[in-house]
Amino acid sequence: MEPTLTFPAIRGVQAQREYYVAMWSLRLMRQVSIFNEDELPPELRAQRILNKARIPEISGYILDNPDDYVFSALTVSIDSDVKFEPIVGQDKLGILKVPMEAKFIINDGQHRRAAIIEALEQRPELAHETIAVVFFLDIGLERCQQMFADLNRHAIRPSRSLGLLYDHRNDKAKLAKLVILKSEVFREIVDMEKSSLAKRSRKLFTLSAFFNACADLVEGLATGVLNDDASMAREFWEEVAKHFPSWTQVRLGRMPASEVREGYIHSHGIALQAIGKAGNAMLKLHPNDWRKRLSALEKIDWSRANAKVWEGRALIGGKVSKVTTNVTLTTNVIKKALGLPLDPEEQKIETATRKRDLK
């Protein structure tokens, strides 16, 4: 009798083709032979080449969250005849028998499989846990390549803001969300879902931008006590908001958010992050009188039309730039207005920029 792999499965139909859903123990990820296509040219492969740089991150996710990690099902093609034996009295539940020499090709989930195998090296006790596997019967390379294209055709990553909103492991994300929810000012002007604002949006900032700004603000200052750190950050940001009356006008519905964003640099994520960076230095150097010193924010000409200040810093060709160097150059403008010294890296970038402008 031909040796076979057998496991319980559910039989279904898609596009008039049978497919099967099974539960594999994580141990099987290591024991079942998966066809390796890495040495083949792209046109002869059914899958992209495994990106080994991604594996430690995914493996670390499993190891860091052994009690609440979650993986979606793997999708696997079987290039072989299989036999499905229904349980007595059932049509869809049964035992799937696959020849030992069958060729398994992962259409979706190759990095998850590789990460699971790596994680098992450090935590063998995970071997008994399971992952869902969807099996399609595949005959031929063309069909397998089409499956890969179809499975990835409509895959869209969620916005960074939405990812942060739903992330309950990231302490800095929890901090930013708590500041927003507790603040009368920012609760109304921060979009918690989108990472880019539509022209007619009534919001001024995105959660992802506020996250960056908060993370930079509390760097080296956070105590690790969420409520205390959030109170400190909220106090700072609400004090900052007092020097930008247009933010309040937008919050109260007295001024269109689009008009403020179109006219001023201070209502963009790059300025918010730059203020957070400058604020971090302010809180460290002037812990007792930082509120009074923030009044200097009003002396800055924040108008986007002020190309002399902002072009090459917050703006590139008249458009807001979020590149790290531009964040630093915008921070330098704010630090100068607040009477704060530049750190070595900021000074290096400032000097290089001035030399470039002189050419």
Extract the tokens encoding 281.
Answer: 């230095």
Q: Which residue has the higher pLDDT, 350 or 150?
A: 350
- Domain identity same for 326 and 196: yes
Across 203-229, average pLDDT: 96
Q: Is the pLDDT of residue 40 over 50?
A: no
Mean pLDDT value of segment 106-124 = 90
List Cβ neighbours of 306 (8 Å cut-off, separation of 6 or more): none
| Residues 174, 235 share a domain | yes
Q: 47-51, 158-162, 240-244 — which is least confidently predicted?
A: 47-51
Query: Looking at the structure, do residues 59 and 117 belong to the same domain, yes or no?
Result: yes
Domain boundary among 102, 129, 153: 153
Residue 75 · residue 134 · CB < 8 Å = yes
Number of domains in the chain: 2
202 shares its domain with 306: yes
How high is the pLDDT of residue 332? 96
266-296 tens-digit pLDDT: 999 999 999 999 999 999 999 999 999 999 9
Sequence-distant (6+) residues with CB within 8 A of 134 are 19, 20, 21, 73, 74, 75, 76
Report helix, strand or coil for 324: helix
pLDDT of residue 331: 97
Tokens 């071997």 — which residue?
127
Candidate from 29-33, 107-111, 205-209 with smallest mean pLDDT: 29-33
pLDDT over threshold 50, residue 13: yes
Q: Tell me which of 86, 119, 153 is where a domain ends.
A: 153
Contact 60, 121 (CB under 8 A): no
Residue 44: band (very low, low, confident or very high) from pLDDT cuts 50, 70, 90: very low
Q: What are phi and psi of 83, to 5 degrees?
A: -125, 125
175 and 307 co-located in one domain: yes
- Residue 1, pLDDT score: 58
- The verdict on 247 and 350 lying in the same domain is yes
- A 10 A CB-CB count for 130 gives 13
State whether 185 and 138 are in the same domain. Answer: no
Cβ contacts of residue 55 below 8 Å, gap of 6+? Answer: 111, 114, 115, 118
Mean pLDDT score of the chain? 89
Q: Is residue 46 pLDDT above 60, yes or no? A: no
**Each residue of 80-99: pLDDT tens digit?**
888 999 998 888 999 999 88
Parent domain of 90: 4-153
- pLDDT-wise least confident of 40-49, 108-117, 119-128: 40-49
Q: How confident is the model at residue 29 (pLDDT cuts 50, 70, 90)?
A: confident
Whether residue 187 sits in one domain with residue 132: no
**183 and 120 both lie in a single domain:** no
Q: Is the pLDDT score of 7 beyond 80?
A: yes
pLDDT at 38: 53
Report the pLDDT averaged over residues 232-254. 96
Q: What pLDDT, on a 0 to 100 scale, did the predictor assign at position 141?
A: 66
In percent, how much of the chain has pLDDT > 70? Answer: 92
Listed in sequence order, the residues at least 6 apart from 97 whose beta carbon sits closer than 8 Å to its beta carbon are 4, 5, 6, 82, 83, 84, 85
Are 80 and 105 members of one domain? yes
pLDDT of 43 > 60? The answer is: no
pLDDT digits (tens, 9 = 90+) for 130-183: 999 999 887 666 766 777 777 777 777 788 998 999 888 889 999 999 999 999
Is the domain of 197 the same as that of 321? yes
Bridge partner residues of 5 (DSSP):
98
Last residue of a domain, one of 134, 153, 172: 153
21 and 79 fall within a common domain:
yes
Report the C-alpha gap between 340 and 278 in whole angstroms.
8
321-324 contacts at long range (C-beta below 8 A, 24 or more positions apart): 321/270, 322/269, 322/270
What pLDDT was estimated at residue 99? 87
> How many angstroms separate the CA atoms of 9 and 6, rounded?
9
